[in-house]
Amino acid sequence: SAFILAKSLSELTNDLQDGSLSPEDVFYSYMEKTLDVNKDVNCCTGILLESFEDLKTVASKKEGLLYGVPVSIKENYAYKNHDSSCGVVVNLERPDQKDSVIVEVLKRQGAIPFVKTNLPQALLNYDCGNPIYGQTLHPNNLRKTPGGSSGGEGALVRGGGSVLGFGSDVGGSIRIPASFCGICGLKPTAGRLSSKGLKPIFRGQKSVLSSPGPMARDVDAVALAMQALLCDHMFALDPTVPPIPFDMQMYQSSEPLRIGYLEDDGYTQPSPSMARGVREVKALLEQAGHTLVPYTPLKITYAVTELLVKGLLADGANRLVQKLEGGPLDPCLREQVMPYYLPNWLKKTLSFLLKPVVSSLLHMCALSYTALYNLLTFPAGVVPVSTVTAGDEEELGRYEGHHQDHWDKLLKQAVGGSEGLPVAVQCVALPWQDELCLRFMKEVERLVQQSRK
């Protein structure tokens, strides 16, 4: 098992396809490891028992880019005869009638979905706990969160229980847990992969778009997952997805890149470790012959307060509150949603009275670095590049934040005590240039690994 679990996804698929490893050996190795990881961090919501039958089918067919690979899926991915509750009690006992398109395509490509993973109640949170399945912990520090909302995926992949996982991202929900856990994750261009069968907490929100995407230990694994999904079978199952296959030539290109970079967006002051990670990667990219251009996002405060927050909660959070009724409220969500329960007349009165400080109140979003690219539908991914140092911790003591309010103090408190935990950078490209985004991620990964040697 240790021999199998140590292999990258690329190595694993090669060994499976040439017959030097059997799907059974790989499946049972990961199943056993997943159960061990789950005991410590509570990252799984249930084993998909159908996977044992799928294993027999896969072993007999021997086809597909992901032949024989066990994969994990976030709890809100539809899987026939299983709940996709989003951590909300009112969604229980409503098993899905069929698989989501992504699950169906994964099976067609020879993969074996074998476990569902945990998420925060109602998805809109960067912690990972709910009243149904409990709290997920960080595999490297049980006092820390793995992030959210795809936190169960992040914890399971980081813990070694999954070689390839699939999450969803509406404001950073793939990138935040991937960053926290020290793995790679991609939020593709909205609409590049099918979202049919992915359960949102509420429907109709079209301003800040969600994207399903892969999470894995390295960029090549994320790229292989995208290559496997961007196939004729997915295009036939969901005609709303543009039939654009994976551009391998772009991914493997070695042309120098022109890269805009920012250390601070002017809205949320980064922690010292985050800022250092960007500076170090910038230096590596310049040394490798790429052109780095400083920039600052335009109208970031307007984008966050007027477009992101009001777009996500355009109905005054009424639909979200309805979903939370009839069940307990998870502690990680309570402070965020309590204002949503106020009557509309009181909300309007408070809005008028507090208008001079409303930007400070809306600062509770703290997602300016990630949610911006859901708003813009840009592909974005994260790559681990470093770990938090004692120097970062010392510098954090002087952190004040741009707003110097409750939320800045909360960020400082949350980041503290993280020495040794991962630090990542985010790589972004223009819409529909997912392969360029992956190529950028691969270059960062290569240069970081080279510098460590």
Task: Say whether 133 sits in a helix, a strand or coil.
Answer: coil
First to last CA, the chain: 28
Rounded CA-CA distance 29/4 in Å is 7
Question: Given 29, 33, 51, 74, which residue is catalytic?
Answer: 74
Q: Pairing relation of β-strands 164-169 and 211-216?
A: antiparallel
Sequence-distant (≥ 6) Cβ neighbours of residue 27 within 8 angstroms: 51, 55, 68, 70, 112, 114
Residue 149 annotated among the catalytic residues of the structure? yes
The helix/strand count (H/E) of the chain reads as: 21, 12
376 neighbors 307 (Cβ within 8 angstroms)? no
DSSP string, 314-354: TTTTHHHHHHHTTSPPPHHHHHHHGGGGS-HHHHHHHHHHT
Task: Say whether 394 sits in a helix, a strand or coil.
Answer: helix
What are the angstrom distances between the C-alpha of 164 and each of 6, 115, 158, 222, 241? 13, 11, 10, 8, 23
- The residues that bridge with 294 in the sheet, in sequence order, are 261
Sequence-distant (≥ 6) Cβ neighbours of residue 220 within 8 angstroms: 8, 9, 10, 442
334 sits in the region (left: phi over 0; alpha: psi -120 to 50; else beta) called alpha
69 sits in the region (left: phi over 0; alpha: psi -120 to 50; else beta) called beta
What are the angstrom distances between the C-alpha of 440 and each of 210, 254, 379? 22, 10, 11
Residue 347 annotated among the catalytic residues of the structure? no
Tell me the one-letter amino acid at 131.
P
Residue 381 structure tokens: 């991914």
| Residue carrying the six token digits 């004692």 | 390
Rounded CA-CA distance 116/194 in Å is 19
Question: Given 173, 210, 273, 386, which residue is catalytic?
Answer: 173
Residue 100 annotated among the catalytic residues of the structure? no
Residue 355 structure tokens: 């208008």
DSSP 447: H
Residue 4 structure tokens: 């199998």
Question: Given 149, 162, 210, 273, which residue is catalytic?
Answer: 149
Residue 185 structure tokens: 């994750």
Of the candidates 52, 10, 442, which has an alpha carbon nearest to the alpha carbon of residue 225? 10
Active-site residue set: 74, 149, 173
